[in-house]
Amino acid sequence: MALRNDSLVLRLLAGGTATYVGWQLLKSPLRADLIGQVVLVTGSSRGLGLLMAREFAREGCRLAICARDEKELEVARRDLEGRGAEVLAIPCDVADRGQVEQIIEQVTAHYGRIDVLVNNAGIIQVGPLETMTHEDFENAMAVNFWGSVYATLAVLPQMRERRSGRIVNITSIGGKVAIPHLLPYACAKFAALGFSEGLRSELAKDGISVTTIVPGLMRVGSPVNAFFKGRHELEWTWFSLGSATPATAMSAERAARRIVQATRRGEAEVTLSWQAKLLRLTHDLFPGATADILGLVNRVLPDAGPEDTEQVRGMKLATAVSPSPLTTLMNRAAQDTNQFGGRTEPSPEHANQIGLESRSIAE
């Protein structure tokens, strides 16, 4: 009886191994080198987008970068060219379908094709539900969801014609587990994640690989360009704390390298940071308990106060909060990834300027 069971186990192992090897062979065309590939990264003037562009450049890719702020985009272009990259920089608001379709045409005309599309552009609003308006939800959806849809649908015809291409969608652990005080962001990321997973299933027959990236917190200095509502300084403090220390957030450079690796391999989905993996596992195993715990977390987060719906750019708050080890870490990460638009420190004048620009775009 024992021999029979051992034989069955061996056959199952052999069958599983053969299936795995066969699957890897079928996927092998997607594992080709990225040298010479044309990569368009949206939202790449700063932060994770800029770091990914640097990593793709190291792989020998030709780059197209886009963002709304022309000055920040120019700083990013010089940064990448200084590292030996071939770069085309085009201003674009991904919430505008016409602008997105135009940039796809411009990049294709310049390079002849687009091999890899990385949908990275995003915005985030931080604050309790009471301070959020219909426009906050609409703006989050416009950039975080529709921006990815517009770019993907615009690039698909050429990828289908060649029967090759890669699409990488940067979502968030907030698209798996809704975190309090980030509701518009979570809604948009849930939608983006569903779009990305469905794309992979439908485009596999066309030879197009779709990779879903699910990042947790990263040390990239992004809070300085987030929008805060309610008790602004208190919201800034808790949100910044989570993304400033090695104990709570992943190295953004390491995250960028892992994303490029996943792109090269054609992986289906990658969750970045052990903290995000733990939160996701806990939520999957105990969804009710996780929701209850997050309800308790919400109780200790700042209340709405006078229910101030005015949004304040994080960069302005970075100049208002007293210097501390937290702000030092934050500023260092922000400076390394062009969060200050080429400046070496937060500037209230710059914060006011880009705040006004962002509001005019939203309007």
Taking only the tens place, the pLDDT of each residue in 211-268 is: 999 999 988 888 888 999 999 989 888 888 887 778 888 899 999 999 999 999 999 9
CB 60 within 8 A of CB 54: no
DSSP state of 146: I
Pairwise pLDDT comparison (199 vs 221), residue with the higher score: 199
Structure tokens at 229: 């509502």
Helix ranges, 163-286 (H): 183-203, 232-242, 252-265, 274-285
* Amino acid sitting at position 269: E
CA distance 348 to 316: 5
Catalytic residue among 20, 111, 150, 185: 185
Residues 6+ apart with CB under 8 A from 360: none
Rounded Cα distance between 6 and 30, Å, is 37
Tens of pLDDT along 339-363?
877 665 565 555 444 443 333 222 2
Per-residue pLDDT, 14: 56
Domains and CATH numbers, the chain: 32-362 (3.40.50.720)
Instruction: Specify the pTM.
Output: 0.85
Give the per-residue pLDDT at 346. 61
185 is catalytic: yes
Cβ atoms of 139 and 362 within 8 Å: the answer is yes
Q: What is the mean pLDDT of residues 94-123?
A: 97
Number of Cβ within 10 Å of residue 264's Cβ equals 20
66-107 per-position pLDDT tens digit: 999 999 999 999 999 999 999 999 999 999 999 999 999 999
Distances 283 to 33, 133, 274, 335 between C-alpha atoms, Å: 36, 28, 14, 34
